[in-house]
Amino acid sequence: MKKFTSPLSFFLSLFLLAGLVSPAALADGQEIPFSVEAAAAILIDADTGEVLYEQAPDERRFPASITKVMTGLLTVEAVERGELTLETTVTLSDTLYTGIGWGGSTQNLEPGEVLTIRDLLNCALIPSANEACNALAEAISGSIPAFVELMNQRAQELGMTSTHFMNTHGYHDDNHYTTARDIAKMCQTAMALPVFREIVSRGTYTVPATNLHDARVLQDTNALVSGAKVSGFRYQYAIGIKTGSTPEAGYCLASAAEKDHRTLIAVLLGGKNWISNDQVVSGNYFTESRRLLEYGFNSFSRKTVLDTIEPVGTVPVTLCAQQDYVTVLPAQSITATLPNDLDPAVFDRSVALPDTLRAPIEKGQVLGTITISYEGKDYGTVDLVADTTLAFSRRLAVIEFFKSLFRPLWVKILLLVLTLFVLLIVLRRMVFGPPRRRPYRSSQPRTHASSYRGRKR
Give the catalytic positions in this structure: 65, 68, 128
Cα–Cα distance measured from residue 11 to residue 23, given in angstroms and rounded to the nearest whole number:
20
220 by Cβ neighbours in 10 Å (0-12 / 13-18 / 19+) ranks as buried
What are the strands, taking DSSP E only, across 160-232?
204-207, 216-219
Q: CB atoms < 10 A from the CB of 189, how many?
A: 21
Is the Cβ–Cβ distance between 311 and 388 less than 8 Å?
no
For residue 229, how many other CB atoms are within 10 A of its CB? 13
Three-state SS sequence of 260-290:
CCEEEEEEEEEECCEEECCEEECCHHHHHHH
How many Å is the Cα radius of gyration of the chain?
41
Contacts of 154 (CB under 8 A, 6+ apart): 70, 73, 74
Give the bridge partners for 315, in sequence order.
326
Burial of 330 (0-12, 13-18, 19+ CB in 10 A): buried
Cα within 13 Å of Cα(148), Cβ side: 15
Nearest to 167 by CA among 270, 64, 89, 39: 64
CA distance 116 to 403: 80
